[in-house]
Amino acid sequence: MTEMKSAASTTGESVEDFAARARTWLADNMPRIDPESPPEPDRGEVGPWLRARKLQKTLYAGGFAGICFPREYGGLGLPIAYQKAFDNESINYELPTILNTPTFTICAATILDTGTEEQKRQHISAVLRGDEVLVQLLSEPSGGSDLAGVITRADRTDKGWVINGAKTWSTSAFAADYGLLLARTDWNVPKHEGLTMFLVPMDSAGITMRRIKQINGSIEFCEEFFDNVELGDDAVMGQVNQGWAVASQQTYHERRAVGGGSEFASGLGAEGTSDRPVDFVALLAATGTADSERVCEMAGRALVHRVVQQQLVDHIYQAVLDGSLPAAAGSIIRITHAETQQLELDTALAITGSAGVVDGGGDLIHHGERYLSRQAIALGGGTTEIARNIIAERVLGFPREFAADRGVPFNQVKRTKS
């Protein structure tokens, strides 16, 4: 393996020179893939995560890990143009893309913004080395879209904190080393004011984890039960009872990641089978509809939306960066991503017809299988309805939506018993 860690951190290197160096290094060190038949990692299995850790270690040793993360935490501290250049050069190579979400783009990004100096140095460096995988522990069985309404509790003790409660729909939690867990630490104040974020070791005593089997057969998501899980004060992220600020930053990064607008993602490949863009040219050929004007128009419409989404991601990223749009504008690409992906899946199934729902021995049934989970695209990073509210209130300046529990101590809020 070529050792180029120090070279990758060289200051003053142009984007073009960086891309050329990456091209040479990739050819010498990373496994090539067939662009026509790329690997399709199943995020619900252990093997792909072990493989991803190994590949990440190779990237780190070569000096191409964490291109946009600060150098003091193990990254290169370079602008997003360098990451894009690397992505373009690496498109025909196998990369650990399943580590992008939620480890790099959400959890590590949140630690970078809100963690202590010790937490940044420990965990960001560890994920860039391939030593740690991080997970979000936010949603709860009785929580719905009301993230601030969590009832998992953290009670202070002489030694630190004790966690009790449950989380659900945790993406790839079975593969994670640490989780960012939002818990209630004060029940006597309004719901947003009594929360604290914790960094929880996933192998802690008292954590029971179960897989959730989805309609498409995937077992990627998990639910976790916390029974007297003990944590020290060093597990607190941000300030005690100010966890909503951390959670808000976390969901900001999640919406950008889901929309494809995070500078901390590495590689252009899909993170799994369900993330792969529809190849409409191949689909029309396989269904014998390439000469149909109507079908070509359907496919063309979906492809136009895809291109517009890609351009919108760049526009929103730059606008937030230069301050012409607030950070909440990340919800725009979260919505348009969901709409674009759903249009592609709907179009693909319409073209495949019965071959997408009845297994005839070919590959077309894959489009029907993907359709089963199409609605999940509108849920990741918060529901589309929540995202529209954020845009209305925080980007357009509309009046806030009425909330009956605003300003009411959480222990006085009426809620459904879990």
Q: Which residue has the higher pLDDT, 174 or 148?
A: 174
Residue 67 has pLDDT above 80, yes or no: yes
Terminal alpha carbon distance of the chain: 53
Q: CATH number of the domain at 217, please.
A: 2.40.110.10
Confidence of residue 345 (pLDDT cuts 50, 70, 90): very high
Residue 138 has pLDDT above 80, yes or no: yes
Find where tokens 């976390």 sit. 250
- On whether both 111 and 216 belong to a single domain, the answer is no
Residue 203 has pLDDT above 60, yes or no: yes
Task: Determine which of 165-169, 352-356, 411-415 has the lowest per-residue pLDDT on average.
Answer: 411-415
Residue 382 has pLDDT above 90, yes or no: no
- On whether both 86 and 144 belong to a single domain, the answer is no
> Can you give the length of the chain in residues?
418
Average confidence (pLDDT) over 98-107:
95
Residue 150 has pLDDT above 60, yes or no: yes
Give dist(CA 166, CA 160) in Å, integer.
Answer: 20
- Specify the number of domains making up the chain: 3
223 strand-pairing partners: 210
Q: CATH number of the domain at 287, please.
A: 1.20.140
Tell whether 411 is covered by a domain.
no
Give strand ranges (E) for 172-279.
178-184, 195-201, 207-211, 221-231, 236-237
- On whether both 225 and 179 belong to a single domain, the answer is yes
Q: Which residue has the higher pLDDT, 319 or 236?
A: 236
- On whether both 119 and 200 belong to a single domain, the answer is no
**Interval 286-306: pLDDT, tens:** 999 999 999 999 999 999 999
Residue 12 has pLDDT above 90, yes or no: no
- Among 243, 263, 295, where does a domain finish? 243
Tell whether 120 is covered by a domain.
yes
Give dist(CA 116, CA 399) in Å, integer.
Answer: 35
Q: CATH number of the domain at 82, please.
A: 1.10.540.10
**Interval 160-188: pLDDT, tens:** 999 999 999 999 999 999 999 999 999 99
Residue 358 has pLDDT above 90, yes or no: no
Task: Determine which of 35-44, 239-248, 404-413 has the lowest per-residue pLDDT on average.
Answer: 35-44
**Mean pLDDT rounded to a whole number for the chain:** 90
- Among 131, 149, 170, where does a domain finish? 131
- On whether both 63 and 92 belong to a single domain, the answer is yes
Note the pLDDT of residue 157: 96
**3-state SS assignment for residue 205:** coil
- On whether both 122 and 35 belong to a single domain, the answer is yes
Give dist(CA 4, CA 18) in Å, integer.
Answer: 12
Range 392-401 contact pairs with CB under 8 angstroms and sequence separation of 24 or more: 394/326, 394/328, 395/325, 395/326, 395/328, 395/329, 395/331, 395/332
Task: Give the structural domain span for 202.
Answer: 135-243
Q: Which residue has the higher pLDDT, 386 or 104?
A: 104
| The token pair that represents 226 in the structure block | 């916390």
- On whether both 163 and 150 belong to a single domain, the answer is yes
- On whether both 197 and 239 belong to a single domain, the answer is yes
- 243-259 and 330-352 helices, crossing angle to 10°: 40
| The token pair that represents 171 in the structure block | 């993406």
**Interval 318-344: pLDDT, tens:** 898 889 999 888 889 889 988 999 999
Confidence of residue 403 (pLDDT cuts 50, 70, 90): confident
| Strand-strand pairing, 236-237 and 195-201 | antiparallel
- On whether both 140 and 238 belong to a single domain, the answer is yes
Residue 8 has pLDDT above 70, yes or no: no
Give dist(CA 352, CA 365) in Å, integer.
Answer: 8
- On whether both 391 and 313 belong to a single domain, the answer is yes
Average confidence (pLDDT) over 50-72:
97
Note the pLDDT of residue 270: 59
Tell whether 251 is covered by a domain.
no
Dihedral, 293, 299, 302, 307 alpha carbons, nearest 10: -100
Note the pLDDT of residue 417: 61
Q: Name, in order, each residue with C-beta under 8 angstroms of 404's C-beta and a sequence gap of 6 or more.
A: none
- On whether both 322 and 212 belong to a single domain, the answer is no
